[in-house]
Structure 1
Amino acid sequence: MSIATHCPRRDLRVRRSYRRGNGLFASLALAAGTLLGAPAAQADSPVTSPALPYGPYTCATSLVWREAVPGDYVCVPPGVRTRASQDNAAAASRVQPGGGAYGDDTCTQGYVWRESRPSDHVCVPPPTRTYTWNENANAVYGYADPTGLPANGTNARWEGQLHVWGSGFTPNRLVDVWSFDSATHAYSKSSLPLRADGSGQLDGFATRNSTQSDYRSVHVLIVDPATGLVRNAGRVNAPNFW
């Protein structure tokens, strides 16, 4: 049974709230305003808290799934989901009759592809595409408990640097690496993004060498900004390398 069957179209409310970075609030507020060592063992399957009513992708309080396309679990304010639904309904009227420079999906003048993922060719006003990209890039902040997100084949290990590897990412696109400290609910983003290869494989180091001896335990979250997909590559013990 798909996750969507567990998520009626209403606010996905949970008991816990998490600190979010300024980048998410800036992006989502703009959109809503327009509308109205020693590595730890890795786990490839999600560990979902019983408190999460809609599974590992349960949104934080007051946020809902965007649902711009099937399987879109980026968490946004309700007004953003409404906008996505309205854009989907108007999609046919915004396509250039007979096609054009970009094929059958060429938009009429004044519209661009939304690109919630590379295959999303729904035509929208240019600001909406910018909001969508920002929502994808900041998707890490939207979940009630990011430690329960599935790994989907990604892994992380501390080897003097943070080594991250996995598959199924958007080919030839940058991927962002974040840490989440469940003790403080703090997020940090690595200054060294990685790039998936032409087959969507990811394998590289997301930090520089470190000789610090003060270790802490964090979850490594991998964000594919081209799709908004967030993966939990597992918990590692590492210095404060961010």
Structure 2
Amino acid sequence: MAADVGRGTRRRWLAGALAAVALLAGLLTVAAPAQAVDLPWGPYSCATGYVWREAVPGDQVCVTPQTRSDTQTENALGPSRKESNGFCKVGFVWRETRPSDLVCVFPSSRDRAYSDNANAPWRLVDPGATPRGGVSVSTTYHLLGGYLYATGSGLSPNRPVRFYAVRINTVGPYSLGSLTANSSGAIPGWQYVADIRCRSGQTEPAIIVVLDQGSGVVTTAGTTEAFRRCG
């Protein structure tokens, strides 16, 4: 009889423990950051009025339909604008939507490519839903927020790397600062990006978005609590 009572007690304790674990799992699920509810074309779904540029394979920078059409025409005409040594004929320059894009175009088209790359985060439905890239961030907190630092690799060599915060109480990505990748396409060590100050009413962690301006590729680098750390 005593053994039966002992086994019953253990079963009740185990059941209670499992219930507590299930409850905790439910709370963690509820507390997880919200994701975009409708991304029909994946994490790089363009905002209304934009389409993928597709200058090179994998190019998902969002541009106007006219720019994509012009880009396709440039791809078709590119070989006729190039010298046998690989350089462009007089009057043309490499387009450089990314470092490997050596299609020869008019200078105005290269300027447009730079501009489209720079505006890439604003033209996505949800830049905070993009995948993690080669950059990571870390925050050292203080009473009014925190200092944001970054490190990483896999970036366009010698090109700007811009940092933004999303999922905060602003319209669109919030600019934090920029660094420049070295000749190996890396941000060595932990480099200072910004002094983030807390915002009244901010209840969720902010997602840090990274723009590799040399390619227009947008990725995420982690989160920070600095925007809601007010003392």
Indicate conservation of the 8 Å contact 1:48/1:55, yes or no: no
Q: CA RMSD in A?
A: 2.1
Indicate conservation of the 8 Å contact 2:120/2:216, yes or no: yes
- Distance apart, 1:119 and its partner CA: 1.3
Indicate conservation of the 8 Å contact 1:64/1:81, yes or no: yes
Give the match for residue 186 of structure 2: 201
Give the match for residue 109 of structure 1: 90
* Structure-2 separation of matches of 1:234 and 1:55: 19
Larger Rg: 2
Matched, 1:170 2:156: yes
Give the match for residue 84 of structure 1: 71
Amino acid at match of 1:171: P
* Structure-1 separation of matches of 2:36 and 2:86: 42
State the secondary structure of the residue aligned to 2:45.
coil
Q: TM-score, normalised by structure 1?
A: 0.70
* Structure-1 separation of matches of 2:156 and 2:40: 29
Give the match for residue 132 of structure 1: 113
Amino acid at match of 2:102: H
Q: 1:118 to 1:226 in 2, by over 3 A?
A: same
* Structure-2 separation of matches of 1:214 and 1:107: 50
Q: Percent identity?
A: 37
Give the match for residue 147 of structure 1: 128
Give the match for residue 42 of structure 2: 55
Higher helix share: 2
- How many residues align? The count is 185
Structure 1, residues 160-201: CA drift from partner, whole Å, max 9, x if none?
3111222211123221111223554432222x4212233222
Indicate conservation of the 8 Å contact 2:128/2:167, yes or no: no
Matched, 1:237 2:225: yes
* Structure-2 separation of matches of 1:172 and 1:126: 20
Indicate conservation of the 8 Å contact 1:48/1:56, yes or no: no
Amino acid at match of 1:176: R
* Structure-2 separation of matches of 1:64 and 1:182: 26
Q: 1:239 to 1:117 in 2, by over 3 A?
A: same
* Structure-1 separation of matches of 2:60 and 2:178: 22
Amino acid at match of 1:148: A
Structure 1, residues 122-163: CA drift from partner, whole Å, max 9, x if none?
011111100100111111111111111011232222213111
* Structure-1 separation of matches of 2:182 and 2:69: 35
* Structure-1 separation of matches of 2:49 and 2:227: 34
Q: TM-score, normalised by structure 2?
A: 0.73
- Distance apart, 1:50 and its partner CA: 5.2
Q: 1:105 to 1:146 in 2, by over 3 A?
A: same
Q: 1:236 to 1:55 in 2, by over 3 A?
A: same
> What residue ranges of structure 2 are gaps of 5+ in the alignment?
1-33, 141-145
Higher strand share: 2
> What residue ranges of structure 1 are gaps of 5+ in the alignment?
1-46, 99-103
